[in-house]
Amino acid sequence: MPPGRRLVHHDLETDVYVLAHIQEGQKVGKPHSHGASWAVYGNAKAYTDMTEWRRTNPQGEEHAVLEATSKYRLAPGQTRAYGPGVIHSTAHPEKAWVIRVTGTDLDRLPRYRFGNKDGILERA
């Protein structure tokens, strides 16, 4: 299958979304959060290298200073939940199939990515 995101299911009663992501290899994502929503990541094929981050400077500052707090690999069959506002990043050294379940449509929420070099907040 070609890389991309596919909607697998949306539960109208709970507003939960189930998405399948085919991630191309050699991809490293920027640190980001899912705003006020939670998310659960799970790998179906290959693996995802995850990093969790915490911001070390005040939220009101334009530049974010991030510190890695945890690094681990999600292998096939493994999952990890991320609460609202948890900053994390993904890396896919090789093509991977990832399932992501979210508490709502993330495109409707204010969310942020954090620039890799300058730490400037970018609205996603």
Predicted pLDDT of residue 112: 74
pLDDT beneath 70, residues of the chain: 116-124
**Token reading at 24:** 């191309």
Q: How far apart are CA 71 and CA 34, in angstroms?
A: 18
DSSP code of 6?
E
DSSP string, 63-105: B--EEEEEEEEE-BT-EEEE-TT-EEEEEESS-EEEEEEESS-
Predicted pLDDT of residue 121: 54
Tens-place pLDDT, residues 33-61: 999 999 999 999 999 999 999 999 898 88
CATH number of 4-123: 2.60.120.10
Q: pTM (2 decimals)? A: 0.87
Predicted pLDDT of residue 114: 78
**Domain range summary for the chain, segments of one domain joined by +:** 4-123
Classify the phi-psi angles of 59: left when phi > 0, otherwise alpha if psi is within -120 to 50, otherwise beta.
Answer: alpha
Predicted pLDDT of residue 14: 97
Percent of the chain exceeding pLDDT 70 equals 92
Predicted pLDDT of residue 48: 97
- Residue at token pair 């991309």: 4
Predicted pLDDT of residue 68: 94
